[in-house]
């Protein structure tokens, strides 16, 4: 422990351990690996129970899986920490920073980006069920494609009339010169819910809707609103059982889940600070 740290902001061992436990529980839950993966029940990023591996398999989901508040459980866990001394205020952290060199305030002891990346919060895994290691939870429809999330989305940056643009972008959208369409990783899963939209923590913009053959319900097309991210998802209801929503993700996010990071940030900052003790 650095001796230059202001003693007035030195946290209790109790608090440090509590925070470590919390983050460990979060990470463990994110990574799955045990029979009871719902360490934080109601947190849909990793608590969607048994999404179906086969799209036309009989539904086994509990009702309204996605009705839970996305971050409720996490916030609840954070609230439980309120019994302990309060979180360090930002100015306290700043005060500590003025005493200890910045390198000691944010020591490289915990590599959060790689940790979160391993946990599937960044590039490389589907948003919801893929966070489990329950392989059956997700159907990977196609993984022959490479991770081309960074590709220029649309790339129809020219002028011209709407029709011209449509033609140009239409041509650019698929194989120019007869090459086969580059497929990207796709993951589909089903959720029994009254809501079409799963709160997966990412922000989506709807860009289209189509009537689907042999189905009374249309299919909706969404794109991730993050500037550099080109992940898409399709949402439609199962024709056989309209209580089931089929969500298909295409591509992988090249950025962390905003909502989750928003919720985790205070904890991570605290823990980074505390990890110097």
Partner DNA sequence: CGGGTTTGACCAGCGC
Partner DNA sequence: GCGCTGGTCAAACCCG
Which residues are near DNA by CB under 7 A? 153-154, 156, 162-163, 165-171, 173-175, 178, 181, 203-213, 219-222, 225, 232, 234
Nearest approach, Cβ of 159 to DNA (angstroms)? 10
Query: How far is Cα 179 from Cα 87, in angstroms, rounded to an integer?
Result: 56
Q: How far is CA 157 from the centre of its chain?
A: 29
Nearest approach, Cβ of 196 to DNA (angstroms)? 10
Decide: 20 and 271 in contact? Cβ < 8 Å. Answer: yes
Q: Between 115 and 168, whose beta carbon lies closer to DNA?
A: 168
Q: How many residues does the chain have?
A: 277
Beta bridge partners of 223: 205, 232
Nearest approach, Cβ of 179 to DNA (angstroms)? 8
Query: How far is Cα 146 from Cα 101, in angstroms, rounded to an integer?
Result: 42
Nearest approach, Cβ of 36 to DNA (angstroms)? 35
Q: Between 40 and 235, whose beta carbon lies closer to DNA?
A: 235
Q: Between 89 and 166, whose beta carbon lies closer to DNA?
A: 166
Beta bridge partners of 246: 190, 236
Nearest approach, Cβ of 117 to DNA (angstroms)? 25
Instruction: Return the C-alpha torsion angle 62, 63, 64, 66, nearest 10.
Output: 10
Residue with token string 């990574």: 31
Residues 6+ away with beta carbon under 8 Å from 231: 149, 202, 223, 224, 249, 250, 251, 252, 253
Q: Between 4 and 174, whose beta carbon lies closer to DNA?
A: 174
Q: Between 208 and 266, whose beta carbon lies closer to DNA?
A: 208
């Amino acid at each position: 422990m650095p001796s230059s740290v202001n003693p007035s902001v030195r946290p209790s061992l109790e608090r440090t351990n509590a925070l470590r436990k919390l983050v460990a529980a979060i990470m463990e839950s994110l990574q799955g690996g045990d029979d009871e993966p719902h360490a934080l029940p109601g947190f849909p990023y990793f608590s969607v129970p048994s999404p179906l591996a086969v799209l036309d398999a009989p539904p086994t989901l509990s009702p309204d899986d996605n009705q839970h508040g996305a971050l409720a459980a996490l916030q609840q866990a954070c609230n439980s920490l309120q019994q302990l001394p309060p979180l360090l205020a930002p100015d306290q952290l700043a005060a500590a920073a003025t005493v200890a060199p910045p390198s000691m305030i944010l020591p490289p002891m915990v590599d959060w980006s790689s940790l979160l990346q391993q946990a599937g919060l960044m590039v490389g895994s589907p948003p919801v069920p893929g966070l489990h290691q329950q392989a059956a939870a997700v159907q990977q429809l196609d993984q022959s494609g490479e991770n081309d999330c960074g590709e220029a989305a649309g790339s129809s940056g020219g002028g011209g009339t709407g029709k011209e643009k449509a033609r140009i972008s239409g041509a650019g959208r698929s194989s120019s010169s007869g090459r086969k369409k580059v497929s990207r990783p796709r993951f589909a899963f089903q959720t029994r819910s009254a809501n079409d939209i799963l709160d997966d923590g990412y922000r989506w913009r709807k860009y289209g809707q189509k009537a689907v053959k042999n189905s009374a319900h249309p299919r909706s097309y969404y794109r991730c609103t993050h500037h550099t991210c080109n992940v898409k998802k399709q949402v439609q209801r199962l024709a056989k059982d309209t209580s089931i929503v089929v969500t298909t993700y295409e591509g992988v996010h090249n950025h962390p889940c905003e909502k989750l990071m928003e919720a985790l940030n205070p904890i991570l900052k605290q823990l980074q600070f505390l990890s110097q003790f």
